[in-house]
Amino acid sequence: MPYYYFDSTALVKRYSPEIGTQVVNKLVTKRGNSAIVGTTALAEFCACLARKSKQGELTRDDWYSVLFKFESESERGGFHYVTPTHHTYVLIKRLAMEFPHLKAPQLTHLGLALELRPLRISLVSSDRQLLAACRPLRVNTVNPEEE
């Protein structure tokens, strides 16, 4: 079974038409694929949608509809969630020393992806800095904007 870990840049593409949306939709809906989201991405996801609403890219009603659709898909098992543990934070500390240019959310996604590596996951993201940090750590990646 293919496992895909979605950071917030990829998760937003599921619910907001932009470059890479078709790739994300295919990964999420393909039978046999498992879509995994870090619980920390939920705040980033909501903040991004709020920003899109404020900038006029989404109406307030669209924003609420997107949140409802996401919650509905989650309740039906469309996404599996992973929560950072103490071990994750120890790993993040090491990653912060190795990649001092990464921000906290990027480090958290990278730490969770490393913990999930035994599943041979692919990290789905359009964050170029995060994707670049995955290479030396041998974390498989999918950039939906380049597929």
The domain in which residue 43 lies consists of 3-142
What is the C-alpha end-to-end distance of the chain, expressed in Å?
A: 20
pLDDT band at 57 (very low <50, low <70, confident <90, very high): confident
User: Cα separation of 82 and 72, whole Å?
Assistant: 18
Total domains in the fold of the chain: 1
Q: Please, which pLDDT band fits residue 147 given cuts at 50, 70 and 90?
A: confident
Count of residues making up the chain: 147
Q: Tell me the percentage of the chain whose pLDDT exceeds 70.
A: 100
**Residue 116 falls within a domain, yes or no?**
yes
Non-local CB neighbours of 85 within 8 Å, separated by 6+ positions: none
Read off the pLDDT of residues 7-17 as tens digits, 9 standing for 90 and up: 999 999 999 88
Percent of the chain past pLDDT 90, that is, above it, reads 84
Report if residue 79 sits inside a domain: yes
Of 58-67, 68-77, 136-145, the range with the lowest mean pLDDT is 58-67
- For residue 91, the domain's CATH number is 3.40.50.1010
147 assigned to some structural domain? no
Is the predicted pLDDT of residue 53 greater than 90, yes or no? no
Buried b (16+ CB within 10 A) or exposed e, 65-79: ebeeebeebeeeeeb
> 140 pLDDT exceeds 90?
yes
Phi then psi dihedrals of residue 47, to 5 deg: -65, -40
pLDDT at residue 64 tops 90: no
What pLDDT was estimated at residue 58? Answer: 86
Q: Is it the case that residue 60 has pLDDT exceeding 90? A: no
Q: Whole-model pTM?
A: 0.94
